Amino acid sequence: MAVLYLDIETSAKTANEGMVIAIGVMTEGEPEVRFCDTFEEERRTLEWFKEKLENCDLLVTWFGTGFDVPFLLSRALIHGVDLSQLAEVPMLDLYEWSRAKLLLSSYSLDSVVRFLGISGGKGFKEFHGSDIQALFKLAERGDLESRRLIVEHCREDVRVLKLVHDRLKPLVERSGWGSPRKSWREE
Q: How many CA atoms lie within 13 A of 71 on its CB side?
A: 23
3-state helix, strand, coil in the chain (%, to 5): 55, 15, 30
Instruction: Collapse the DSSP code of 85 into the 3-class scheme (helix H, G, I; strand E, B; otherwise coil) and give the result.
Output: helix
- The predicted-structure confidence for 66-111, as pLDDT tens digits, reads as follows 999 999 999 999 999 999 999 899 999 999 999 999 999 999 998 9
- The predicted-structure confidence for 64-77, as pLDDT tens digits, reads as follows 999 999 999 999 99
Q: Give every CB contact of residue 114 below 8 A, 6+ residues apart in sequence.
A: none
Q: How much is the pTM?
A: 0.91
Q: How many CA atoms lie within 13 A of 183 on its CB side?
A: 8
Asked if residue 91 lies in contact with residue 65, where contact means CB atoms within 8 angstroms, the answer is yes
Percentage of the chain modeled with pLDDT above 70: 89
Element containing residue 163 per DSSP (H, E):
helix 144-175
